[in-house]
Structure 1
Amino acid sequence: MNGSAGATRVALPPPATATNAPAAARGLAVPRWAGVWPVAALWMIPVLVTSTQTYLLLQHKQERHLSFLAALVWQGLPWLFWALMTPAIAWLGRRYPLERRAFPKNVAVHLIASLAMAPGHVAISTLTGRLIGQESYVKAPFLEVFSKIISVYLDVELVIYWGILAIVHAADYHRKYRERALAAAQLETKLVQAELQALKMQLHPHFLFNTLHAIAVLVRKQETQASVRMITGLSELLRMALESAGKQIVPLKQELDFLDRYLEIEKTRFQDRLTVRTDVASEALDAEIPNLILQPIVENAIRHGIAPRASSGSVTIAARREDDWLVVEVTDDGKGLSESWAGEASEGTGLGNMRARLRQLYPGDHRLTIARRPEGGVLVTVAVPFRPAHAHASPQEERRAHG
């Protein structure tokens, strides 16, 4: 492990509020008839407006025998016709959309449909006028009244049809826009998950190669007992890795369990040359942390801090909560960072993958620093938002937390 700057503790800003993304989008199933109520409520607006206008107008003309209920029936039943026609117009609008590819043909279809429906509204209006006893509707024959009304109000009837059609098109456009946005969000989420999984899977071959190489060295030295311990430890390590293969986030205690298995292998390899210390606050054990995020850090500490030296060395793993952050530190007492260290540009595949995963999981809301320790060695700090995993630490984990 080879950064500049002294290992000073920096106060962390509060993490951003976590929100569940697009990336998942859930909705509650609703009955099909639930959409009827908004349409019915919408049609009540012209019913009440025209009924009130008619009632007040006839009151002004001294025709006080017309009650508001009669005015409501007179205006409401004709509007009911258009309300009942709305599903048919919606079907026609979706079957013959006003799109460029078939615009003239579909306009002709809707023009015919509007001309066919307009007389229905006028006919019902004429019938209800006669039903409530309006003098001008009763004295003349039905067809004469009908002809007069449709000649005056045909353009209004056409406007109503085309207005409904426009609303249908607007609603469909909005629905399709939301569906496209949802599909795009789901695709983005899948892409992010695939990228995270690819980054995480790059970690497995890295430590697997190193461990197999160490086993090969022991076999060549004919150290059978140590070889068996390492093979057994590797088997357990791979089992744990496979069990958590689909998880991007795990409790810290699970991450530390995995780290324990890895360190058992390394202790077998280095024997008395490697000392591992832990200082984990009990409240930190249940915090969430990216899966397999610590193993590459510890591996780097051993490879660059312990392996090059003939004498023994130590690696310390500490974790605690600082306000709304989970802070994990890995330190070694090795030779420290080289003079040529150039920050991220000098990092290898393991640390580069870690940074990429942290950016994906906590965009702008994490910290990964590598610094020299004044007393020698390297300090690596990982800080992510503190989020409980809602689990309880076992007695074994509590003992580990207290050293």
Structure 2
Amino acid sequence: MFLTNGCNRMSNWIEVLVTAVRHRDRPFRQKPAKAETQPWKNEAVMSPRMRQRIRLIVGVWLGWTIAGLFYIIQDTVPRLYRGGAVPWKYVFVGWMTGMYVCAALTPALLWLSNRWPIERRRTYIALHLGFSVIFSILATTLEVPLLLLLGVFPAPPPPPSIAAGVRIMLSFGIQGGVIRYWAVLALHAVYRSQKNAKIREREAFELKVKASELAQQLATAQLSSLKMQLQPHFLFNTLGAIIVLIQQQKTAQAEAMVEKLGNLLRRTLDDVEAQEVPLWRELEFLQLYLSIEQVRFEDRLRVRIAPPAALSEVLVPHMVLQPIVENAVRHGLGQSEEAVTIEVVATSSNGALTLVVSDDGPGLLSPRPGRPGIGLMNTRNRLARLYGDGAQLVVEQAPNRGVRVTITLPMRTVPQEASPCD
């Protein structure tokens, strides 16, 4: 009858514990605020593609204007040097008309350049040789009507028809249009090469960043997996201890252990996403766990934890000490009827933090090390994931009696904004 009442009381305690853990920190649901209407955000905005087209048009016309001025200077300077008269209207209007005709044909030239890039295949060079001749003839055909309309045809008297004017202009040679075609083609090839190089560099950087992010996500997932294996491990052991107390009809101790287990679960949920916590917080968690074990073993378990205040903000892996202390409790008290003292010491030297967990229990009974438990094995794996070769875990026989476990970590401190005092 007493055992049945104890079990019923334990069931009530567990229901209260589960309900508190489930409803803890549940966010208060609020109605979404109405979005502010900002009509100015709906105004038409010039797209990047449109801005690129405008820059291209301005650049093409500016480039051909500079080329026209170059031809004008080349034509007028010798005449001025010889002291001759310069027909400014014929020179200026004539050259600029030819340049702006080339500017109008440049979009088609750039399309041909993109369609058959000369840097990809040598056969494209022969193809562009034919295109350059066609470009020169077409530019001359478009230029003659404009020159006749503006009255600046370079060969007086003016021809009687456009066809006659085209024949006259072509008789001067088509090399001018061909040279202009290849000049634009070469400049565009250089521009395209530089642009592609920047694109490749940006893509390589993005791939490197993505690879780094994926590696970090993988490492985080692996660490979380190891940590999740530790949490059920000590939880099941604690529940097993509670069952033993109930079976032994130690109801008061079982109730106290359930209450402390609830506090321990709350602390675990607080740091469920943290891989590292300050040393002071890890030791508080450890003391909470040991208080559960002290309910079970009463006066047989003694604990000494006295870390220096200067090391309280040093970061350590969350739950790094719990599986080691659990081993000390299980092997020390479980294999001996005598009282056991567990001591946790933290020191620092040469930029490294040293955590030592020792007990005065029976020690390592077998000289041949067996297969390590899940707690110790996962602790080693977590240290390797977090610190690589910068961390060590050594299990050895204590000098006098018991077992000593030494963990060495690189010193990392809590950032200022993460300090508990802030």
Please give the TM-score of this superposition, normalised by the length of structure 1.
0.65
Question: Is residue 202 of structure 2 the alignment partner of residue 202 of structure 1?
Answer: no
CA–CA distance in structure 2, aligned partners of residues 157 and 175 of structure 1: 27
- 1:348 is aligned, of 373, 385, 389, to 373
Kept in 2, the 8 Å contact 1:251–1:285? The answer is: yes
The aligned counterpart of 1:274 is 301
Residues 201-245 of structure 1: CA deviation (Å, up to 9, x unaligned): 000111111111111111111111111110001111111111211
Deviations 1:16-74 (A, max 9, x none): xxxxxxxxxxxxxxxx79x99xx99xx9xx99xx99x999999x989789xxxxxxxx9
Opposite residue 274 of structure 1, the aligned amino acid is L
The answer to whether the aligner puts 1:236 opposite 2:263 as a matched pair is: yes
- Pick from 162, 180, 192 the counterpart of residue 189 of structure 2: 162
Residue matched to 2:91: none
Residue 214 of structure 2 corresponds to residue 174 of structure 1:
no
Aligned match of 2:42: none
Matching of residues 4-403 of structure 1 within 5 Å: 144=169, 147-342=174-369, 346-389=371-414, 390=416
Unaligned 5+ segments in structure 2 are 1-47, 84-95, 148-152, 159-164
Amino acid at match of 1:160: L
SS in structure 2 of the partner of residue 321 of structure 1: strand
Q: Tell me: CA distance 1:232–1:63, structure 2 relative to 1, closer, same or farther (3 Å).
A: farther
Instruction: Show the counterpart of 1:18.
Output: none
Task: Give unpaired runs (5+ residues) of structure 1.
Answer: 1-31, 66-73, 131-136, 395-403
RMSD: 4.8
Measure the CA separation in 2 of the matches of 1:116 and 1:61.
29
Q: Residues 188, 169 of structure 1: CA spacing in aligned structure 2 closer, same or farther, 3 A cutoff?
A: same
SS in 1 for 2:361: coil
Residue 161 of structure 1: how far off its partner (Å):
2.5
Are residues 186 and 55 of structure 1, via their aligned partners in 2, closer, same or farther at CA, if it must alter by over 3 Å? farther
Deviation at 1:115, TM superposition (A): 6.3
Matched-pair contact (CA < 8 Å) for 2:132–2:182: no
Distance in 2 of aligned mates of 1:97 and 1:206:
66
d(CA) in 2 for partners of 1:139 and 1:377? Answer: 113
Aligned length: 325
Please state whether the residue corresponding to 2:348 is helix, strand or coil: strand
Identity of aligned residues (%): 30
Distance in 2 of aligned mates of 1:320 and 1:203: 25
- The CA deviation string for residues 291-341 of structure 1, in whole angstroms up to 9 with x for no partner, is 111100111111112321111010001112223112111111112223333
Q: Shift of the alpha carbon at 1:152?
A: 3.2
TM-score (norm 2): 0.62
User: Structure 2 vs 1, CA of residues 201 and 163 (structure 1 numbering), >3 Å: closer, same or farther?
Assistant: same
User: 2: CA distance between counterparts of 1:297 and 1:240?
Assistant: 19
* Bigger radius of gyration among the two: 2
In 2, the alpha carbon distance for the partners of 1:153 and 1:360 equals 63
Provide the rounded CA distance (Å) in 2 between the counterparts of 1:97 and 1:153: 18
Between the aligned partners of 2:116 and 2:409, the Cα distance in structure 1 is 51
Which stretch shows the higher mean deviation, 355-364 or 173-182?
173-182
Q: CA deviation at 1:346?
A: 3.4
Q: Which amino acid counterpart does residue 219 of structure 2 have in structure 1?
A: V
Instruction: Indicate the structure whose relative CO is greater, using CA pairs within 8 Å and at least 6 residues apart.
Output: 1
- Relative distance call for 1:167 and 1:302 in structure 2 (3 A) is same
Q: Does the C-alpha gap of structure 1 residues 308 and 165 become closer, same or farther in structure 2, counting only changes over 3 Å?
A: same
For the 8 Å contact 1:327–1:383, the answer to whether it is kept is: yes
> Match of 1:70?
none
